[in-house]
Amino acid sequence: MSTAAYSSRLSGGFAIIGLLTAAIAFTRAFQFMSIYLLPSRISRYAHSTNGQPPWALVTGASDGIGRGFAAELAKQGFNVVLHGRNHAKLSSVMSKLQERHPDRSFRILIADASKVACLNCIRPVPGQSHTHEPDDSAPAPRTDFDALRTALDDLNLTVLVNNAGGGAVNPTFLSLGESSEARITGNVSLNALFPLHLTRALLPTLRRNSPSLVINVSSLADNGLPLLVSYCASKRFLLTMTEAVVREMKLLGKGGDVELLGVRVGKTTNTAYFTEKPSLFTPDSQTMARATLEKAGYGHGVVVGYWGHALQHLLIKAMPLWVKDRAFIAAIQMEAANDRKTT
């Protein structure tokens, strides 16, 4: 083969590779944009079954994004079960929602998400909390998931939002070596074990009432932040669980029409931790909840719920490892310093 012919074939090969690369990049860009431009399909889950109206269960509904989910779901035609561990807070939220949505029904479901399995046998360390927020109510018994399922059996439950979660407090930022067994176990219970067991318990109900939806709320912190090890790891657990359960249902042929949607969430306002004004990259909690619900109905799998957070996530993924390490360390140092000033 002559040199000219060889060069021509080589150039042709590079051209094909270039076209394939461009096509893949275009496809990925189109898929990314479509996620945030497609209309909401949440209404497909707002159906009656045997004459019963649709219900949604929102865990961690007393504040923040959970409260936003409850408000948005009520607006979209769902009756809502409000889960939490503080009855007074949930009663206040329910009263306000009932006032805004007089045609909807609401219930309260009390369960401490940080007390799954054998956590009660671990002695807490004085001065450290393993829960996501301070609570002066009496200690709760171990969570009984069979009892939770039974409490919801009379409802046409079509949506489960696994939103309850958060980092440990007192202090918020603490190295793994300094963290107590109770602190770590409580935080993993809250963010990983509770939604895992609740999904296990309610999947038969959701299959029976299908089409139905499970939303697992994770965090951009699952990229791995220092001094928040148990929180970051348990949030990544939640997304892996989402993907694994979908494949398991397909394998066993027991999925029915149940969609599982894992959603990464970035910083929002109107929570117990942040009270700043909303911005393009820091939406308020109800905007975040609305954006998440708009992703339902398409079988996306795992997404970043809000477009501004999605851009942040793309930037994180594009960073070289050494840049990412320095950026995360610097961010946590600043947050930890601010946390010490306010405590």
32 vs 309: CA distance, rounded Å: 13
168, 232 Cβ separation under 8 angstroms? no
Q: Are strands 212-217 and 156-162 parallel, antiparallel or unpaired?
A: parallel
What mean pLDDT is predicted for residues 92-98?
Answer: 97
> For 8, phi and psi rounded to 5 degrees?
-65, -45
Please indicate whether residue 256 or residue 46 has the higher confidence score (pLDDT): 46
Question: CA torsion 205→186→325→316, rounded to 10°?
Answer: 20
- Going from N- to C-terminal start, the domains of the chain cover 36-116+141-318
Round to the nearest angstrom and report the end-to-end CA distance of the chain.
77
> Each residue of 196-250: pLDDT tens digit?
999 999 999 999 999 999 999 999 999 999 999 999 999 999 999 999 999 999 9
190 vs 143: CA distance, rounded Å: 11
Sign of the CA dihedral running 110, 53, 210, 50: positive
Q: How far is CA 252 from the centre of its chain?
A: 25
Cis peptide before 124 (omega within 30 of 0): no
194 vs 175: CA distance, rounded Å: 24
pLDDT given at position 50? 85
**Closest to 215 (Cα-Cα) out of 137, 305, 126, 88:** 305
68 vs 122: CA distance, rounded Å: 34
What mean pLDDT is predicted for residues 99-127?
Answer: 80
> Each residue of 2-59: pLDDT tens digit?
665 555 565 655 556 655 555 544 455 555 667 888 988 999 999 998 889 999 999 9
> Each residue of 114-169: pLDDT tens digit?
888 665 555 555 555 555 544 444 455 678 899 999 999 999 999 999 999 999 88
CATH 1.10.10.10 fits 36-116+141-318, yes or no: no
pTM for the model:
0.86
